[in-house]
Amino acid sequence: MGELEPAIPEHLRTVRTQPLRGPADFVPQHASHSARFDQSVKRLSIVYVGVQYRDGGVDAVASALAKIEHSFQGPTGPKHHDQTRYVDEAGYVNHVYAAYWDDEESHKEWSAAQSDDWWHPDASVTGEYGFFKEEYTPSVEDGETTFSHPCPEGISKIADHMSGETDTHEYWGSARDRIPRAQTEDLEPAEETTPKMSAKSSKGRHVRVQPRENLCVLRSGSDWSETKGSEREFFLNKVWPAYHKGMIEIRDEGLSFGCFFNRAMRHVERGEEVEKAYSLSAWNSLSDLERWVKADTHLAIWAAGIKHFKAAGDQAKLRLYHEMFVVKAADQRFDYFNCHDKTGMLKAGSVDTG
């Protein structure tokens, strides 16, 4: 391991008034890398668009997905997007796109050019399909990324480059220490924890959920497509089962931990699932997430991952990463169209009767 660099790039560092969580002179044992955006990038745009159904014609789903995919084309469309699929806790199949921009004006121009129903094209609120659109427009100071290998995924696909090996990981609280805004802010919510909405279910209607301050949004992924032999066997038999158990826990019991929703999804390429996956979760606060990572279920995931990389050594092919943002209320928007009441932020919200 060569000379290490801070996870926060130099142009985003400032005089720290919040304490570091890491021990003095801590040196990590394994490599980690962070995405580096050009200094001209001030704000990012992330849009998750989902289609959900229990039964129905495959052709109708394919048509909706094709129209959403088509909307991403053009000079102001996202610089990168990916597609995933999963079955949620209510038994609905969900297809989800994640789309990314690194230019706020391009995203605004693109949004203005779309029809109002671009994310639920030609759909009826009494039809067989539900649709959701969840948008985040955080500042680059609101987030952090970390990768076991310098191989970008998610938002990092549109970064300028990947860093060298960094010094800010492998200790409790390191994710917070990688967030530029956490140098001077505690990132705690500034209001009550329950999101507000006009109705509990969006079945038969369009519901918008009221944003809240300092929502913590985590995309955490893995790519095991290049693993072979004993490394592949260990991942599939030890790491993946522990991960799956943890994802089910925060999906089904997440509200007791401060997790509003969790989706564990497989990447889809050319219509087929591939050996890449990520979970997307939204938390009441970064502090709530920090508490859960010390829970037994997550500790089992962490221990399995450490054993995996120790056994595989420098030749490890398993790629792990996450991107996390603590998002201000003004930089969030949640829309649900004919979705069941366990979808996204609908699961956690209370009806606003005011």
Q: How far is CA 116 from CA 98, 103, 112, 123, in A?
A: 19, 22, 9, 12
pLDDT at 155 over 50: yes
Ranges 106-110, 311-315, 328-332: which has the least confidence? 311-315
Query: Which SS3 state, helix, strand or coil, does residue 49 take?
Result: strand
Please report, in angstroms and rounded to a whole number, the separation of the first and last CA atoms in the chain: 58
- Write down all domains in the chain, each with its CATH number in brackets: 45-138+194-211+331-351 (no CATH), 140-191+213-329 (3.30.70.100)
Please give the pLDDT value at position 60: 78
* Residues facing residue 230 across a β-bridge: none
The set of residues, in sequence order, having a beta carbon less than 8 Å from that of 258 and lying 6+ positions away, is 193, 283, 284, 285, 287, 288, 289, 291, 292
Mean of all residue pLDDT scores within the chain? 92
**pLDDT tier at 192 (50, 70, 90 boundaries)?**
low
Burial of 317 (0-12, 13-18, 19+ CB in 10 A): middle
| Residues in CB range of 256: below 8 A, 6 or more apart | none
* Predicted pLDDT at 305: 92
Residue-level pLDDT at 22: 85
Q: How confident is the model at residue 344 (pLDDT cuts 50, 70, 90)?
A: very high
Which residue, among 244, 249, 239, has the nearest Cα to 311 in the 3D structure? 239
| More confident of the two residues 58 and 154 | 154
Three-class DSSP category at 121: coil
Per the residue annotation, which of 95, 267, 322, 340 is the catalytic one? 322
What's the pLDDT at 61? 87
Q: What are phi and psi of 221, to 5 degrees?
A: -130, 170
**What pLDDT digit, counting tens, does each position of 41-51 carry?**
999 999 999 99
Beta bridge partners of 5: 166
| DSSP codes of every residue in 206-230 | EEEEEP-TTEEEEEEEEE-TT--HH
Q: Is 322 among the catalytic positions? A: yes
Percent of the chain with pLDDT over 70: 94
pLDDT for 190: 76
pLDDT of residue 353: 38
Q: Identify the band that residue 200 occupies on the pLDDT scale cut at 50, 70 and 90.
A: low
Instruction: Taking the CA atoms of 135, 252, 351 and 329 in sequence, report the sign of the dihedral they define.
Output: negative
Give per-residue pLDDT as tens, 249-263. 999 999 999 999 999
Contact 158, 102 (CB under 8 A): yes
Average pLDDT over residues 110-122: 95
- Which range (197-211, 222-236, 302-316, 340-354) has the least confidence? 340-354
Contact 265, 317 (CB under 8 A): no
Give strand ranges (E) for the chain. Answer: 35-36, 45-53, 80-87, 93-101, 129-136, 143-147, 161-162, 196-197, 206-210, 215-223, 259-269, 272-283, 319-327, 332-337, 350-351
Average pLDDT for residues 93-97, to the nearest whole number? 97
What are the pLDDT digits (tens) for 222-258? 999 999 999 999 999 999 999 999 999 999 999 999 9
Which range has the worst mean pLDDT, 178-182, 192-196, 285-289?
Answer: 192-196
Q: How confident is the model at residue 311 (pLDDT cuts 50, 70, 90)?
A: very high
